[in-house]
Structure 1
Amino acid sequence: MTNTRVMVVGAGIAGPILAIFLKTRGYDPIMYERLPSPGEGGLSFVLQPNGLRVLSLIPGLVEQIPGYSADRMVHCSSLDGKEDILAEIDISPDAAREQFGFPFIGVRRAEFQRFLIDTAEKHGVEIKWGHQAIEYEQSEDAVEVTFANGVKDTASFVVGCDGLHSNTRIALFGKEKANFTGLVQFGGLSPTPPAFSGKFVFVNNYGNGRHMVSYPIAEDKYSWAITTRQAEAKEDWKTQHVEQQDEIRRGPLSDWGFGAGDLVRTGQGIIKYGLYDRPELKSWFKGRIVLLGDAAHPTSPHLGQGANQAFEDIYHLMRLLKKYNPSTGQPSTELLSQVFIDYQDLRLPRTSELVRGARQQGEVRVIEGIEACRVRNEKIRIGFHDEAARKAMSELLTGPFKDSEV
Structure 2
Amino acid sequence: MDRQKIIKDLVVKTNSKIVLFVMDGLGDLPKNGKTPLQAANTPNMDSLAKESDLGQSVPVLPGITPGSGPGHLSLFGYDPLKYQIGRGILEALGLGIDVGEKDVVARGNFATIKDGIIVDRRAGRPSSEESKKVVDILSEKIKKVDDVEINFYPGKEHRFVVKFTGEGLFDEVSDADPQREGSPMEWAKATNPDSEKMANIVNKLIKQIGEVLKDQPKMNFALLRGFSKHPIIPSFEEVYKLKAAAIATYPMYKGLSKLVGMEVLEAGQTLEDEVQSLKDNWEKYDFFYFHVKKTDSYGEDGNFEEKVKVIESVDEILKEVLSLNPDVLIITGDHSTPSLMKSHSWHPVPVLLHSKYVRKGLSVSFDEYECARGSLGTISGSDIMTLALANAEKLEKYGA
TM > 0.5: no
The structure whose RCO (Cα within 8 Å, separation 6+) is larger is 2
Q: Whose helix proportion is higher, 1 or 2?
A: 1
Using structure 1 for the length normalisation, give the TM-score: 0.26
Using structure 2 for the length normalisation, give the TM-score: 0.26
Q: Whose strand proportion is higher, 1 or 2?
A: 1
